[in-house]
Amino acid sequence: MVIKVTPRPPRTRPLIRLFLASGVAASALVAVPAQAAHAQPATDDSKDGKGGKKVLTIAVSQSIDSLSPFLAQRLTSTTVHRLAYEYLTNYGPKDGRPIPGFATAWAPSPDKLTWTYTIRTDSTWSDGTQATAEDAAWTFNKMMTDPNAATANGSFTANFKKVTAPDPRTLVIELKKPQATMTALDVPIVPKHVWEKVGDFSKFNNDQSFPIVGNGPFVVTDFKVDQYLKLTPNKKFWRGAPKFDELVLKYYKDNDAAVAALRKGEVSFVPNLTPAQAASLKNAENIKVNDAPGRRFFALATNPGARSKDGKTFGSGHRALLDPAVRKALFLSVDRRTIVDKVFQGHAVEGEGYIPPRFGSYFWKPAPTQKLTHDPAKAAQILDQAGYKKDGTGRRTGKDGKQLDFRILCHATDPNDKAVGKYLQEWWGKLGIGLKVDCLDNVSDPWAKGDYDLAFDGWSVNPDPDYVLSIHTCGALPATPKDTGATDNFICDRQFDELYARQSVEYDAAKRADLVKRMQSRLYDTGYMNVMVYPNAVEAYRTDQISSITTMPEDGGNLWGQDGYWSWWSAVPAGEGGTGAGGGSSSSAGVVVGIGAAVVAAVAAGLFLMLRRRSTADDRE
């Protein structure tokens, strides 16, 4: 929906000092990096009513892993790329169905092995160069021929046989076998004339020269690590330039500070509010809280034994967690209801399957006989039967005679991680198992090295579930222990891989949805992942700075971390009319997509009803 707000006049009474809840969920984030201290506060410009510079400032708590579209996996980074680059197709804000992006039309051959995309003629790179099909062909070919360029999104091109641009308006992709994601290729198209000069794609982070050349609605103009990222409107953007003069992503390690900045008008928007923060802002002057069904899951991930494609093992994961009995016992001790009620205070629903219920036809629930309900007595019985007896101190011992003590990676800036960690210490302690909660500013390094036993994990799911499923395939493992793979937590299960391969070539929406559900069932049964809850998207913005903005989906959706650029592109400064950016409506209604009728029937029926991935506490999209 397009949220329109009429700012209320400020009260004359003094401000009341408010108690603020602790820290931001760096995990829950779906964002982009930060703004510099010298950046002009949003209130100085968007509220003065004198025609000054209008700045939309977003508070974020997640670091950027890379500004290279070929390397970035975190939600902060991928959100930036959705703003700065076009993809072949976009997801409509109304219902997530595919709409034109860099391509205006697309159609498959009768055997669905060749896809032809018509590239728009009105897309211009921000340096003035015409964007053409050759840029798309070069982007995909680079990913197909350079493993380093396939780090982030290689699963989309692994099945590509040949990609050509016979003319500036035509892109042709030939496949080795059918591929169900051809209208959901979440790959930023980059300018060939800029990127063909890059040498080592594994090291180039695209963060040294500004402005960064792109063809999206915004242009990245400045960036300082863990401080800020600045963008300005792309005046040449074919859909129309954004209304704000500048978009700033300002980094806050502590979300209390971000909320305080929102109250002062120093930032325009804050995502990932804690329940206490949301409650404190509910009746605040000139602030609107948006509480929407979530598109993420919040989970426990176990280290199944970090390994690489060359067969080598590495890391320091606890070997006892390789025993299914131990994993099952741990998960039976997790009380999801308590987590929903006590940690999220009702701003979440209990988790089960891998894909949240918001996502329609792909949502899966375990059968009653399959479901792991909260049952501490059964958990203890399973450990006893598996030989993990208690010693004289009441502690469980492993097969090596040592007491069972596990570590769990926790995001230092995420209060949900910390709160759930305390409950796990209590629940698992009653089983006789010790738990050390390692809360770190940077969980990515030990995660990639396999130096963890368990971790708080989660992803934001996008309209097509292929990517979030691919990160658990054997093909996502790193090539060697020294390399970085696309894997989430080193799961490699041949049965899961077989189902993944089948769903990736299935064009029939109902049959593909069934395969996706079977994959979730398999992931559930292996016990390496335990989805605890599906958190709501709880966020707030200043109505005296933003007069209207588009949620996704439009009917009660979220603003931060959308599968598209709708929120920030459509945002209208307070005091200005209109319902969207560029003077037009932000709705996708009336957009005509030139997709083949066969694919409309097979794909549109159920393929694009949802939203995208997250990561280690929002470390990845």
Query: In this predicted structure, what is the pLDDT of residue 163?
Result: 98
**87 close to 100: Cβ distance less than 8 angstroms:** no
Query: In this predicted structure, what is the pLDDT of residue 538?
Result: 96
Backbone angles phi, psi at 540, to 5 degrees: -150, 150
338 in the same domain as 240 = no
**Would 2 be classed as within a structural domain?**
no
Query: In this predicted structure, what is the pLDDT of residue 367?
Result: 94
Q: What is the pLDDT of residues 158-216, one digit of tens each?
A: 999 999 999 999 999 999 999 999 999 999 999 999 999 999 999 999 999 999 999 99
Question: CA-CA distance, 202 to 197, in Å (whole number)?
Answer: 14
505 in the same domain as 400 = yes
Least confident range of 120-134, 375-389, 556-570:
556-570
207 in the same domain as 116 = yes
Query: Any idea what DSSP says for residue 463?
Result: S
Which pair of tokens denotes residue 306? 């970090």
pLDDT at 29 over 80: no
508 in the same domain as 614 = no
pLDDT at 28 over 90: no
Rounded-to-10 torsion of CA 278, 334, 414, 76: -90
Query: In this predicted structure, what is the pLDDT of residue 621?
Result: 42
More confident residue, 30 or 422: 422
531 in the same domain as 395 = yes
211 in the same domain as 175 = yes
pLDDT at 513 over 90: yes
Query: In this predicted structure, what is the pLDDT of residue 3?
Result: 52
Is residue 578 very low, low, confident or very high in pLDDT (cuts 50, 70, 90)?
Answer: low
**Would 41 be classed as within a structural domain?**
no
Range of the domain at 20: 13-35+589-620
More confident residue, 367 or 10: 367
Q: CB burial class (10 A; 0-12, 13-18, 19+) of residue 385?
A: exposed
**Would 398 be classed as within a structural domain?**
yes
pLDDT at 38 over 50: no
Is residue 51 very low, low, confident or very high in pLDDT (cuts 50, 70, 90)?
Answer: low
**Tell me, what amino acid is at 533?**
V
Q: What is the pLDDT of residues 404-421, one digit of tens each?
A: 999 999 999 888 999 999
398 in the same domain as 373 = yes
Residue entry with tokens 């509480």: 291
301 in the same domain as 166 = no
- Look at residues 244, 213, 292 and name the one whose alpha carbon lies nearest to residue 460: 292
**Would 193 be classed as within a structural domain?**
yes
**Tell me, what amino acid is at 68?**
S
Query: In this predicted structure, what is the pLDDT of residue 74?
Result: 86
Q: CATH number for the domain including 118?
A: 3.40.190.10
Domain boundary among 501, 535, 569: 535
405 in the same domain as 505 = yes
Is residue 342 very low, low, confident or very high in pLDDT (cuts 50, 70, 90)?
Answer: very high
Question: CA-CA distance, 292 to 244, in Å (whole number)?
Answer: 25
Query: Any idea what DSSP says for residue 604?
Result: I
CB proximity list for 298: less than 8 A, separation 6 or greater: 27, 28, 348, 351, 416, 456, 458, 531, 532, 533, 534, 535
**252 close to 23: Cβ distance less than 8 angstroms:** no
- Percentage of residues in the chain having pLDDT higher than 90: 76
- The mean of the pLDDT values for the chain is 86
402 in the same domain as 550 = no
Q: CATH number for the domain including 476?
A: 3.10.105.10
Which pair of tokens denotes residue 517? 């559900």
Q: Are strands 594-595 and 103-108 parallel, antiparallel or unpaired?
A: parallel
Domains: count for the chain: 3
More confident residue, 358 or 59: 59
H helices of 152-302, in order, are 154-157, 192-195, 255-264, 275-281
pTM for the whole thing?
Answer: 0.77
More confident residue, 96 or 270: 270
Which pair of tokens denotes residue 182? 């051809």
pLDDT at 619 over 60: no
Q: Enumerate long-range contacts of 363-368, CB under 8 Å, 24 or more apart.
A: 364/516, 364/517, 364/520, 364/521, 366/521, 366/524
Is residue 54 very low, low, confident or very high in pLDDT (cuts 50, 70, 90)?
Answer: very high
**Would 255 be classed as within a structural domain?**
yes
**Would 5 be classed as within a structural domain?**
no
pLDDT at 606 over 80: no
Question: CA-CA distance, 25 to 413, in Å (whole number)?
Answer: 6
**Would 418 be classed as within a structural domain?**
yes
**Would 515 be classed as within a structural domain?**
yes
Q: Are strands 160-167 and 114-119 parallel, antiparallel or unpaired?
A: unpaired
401 in the same domain as 346 = yes
571 in the same domain as 431 = no
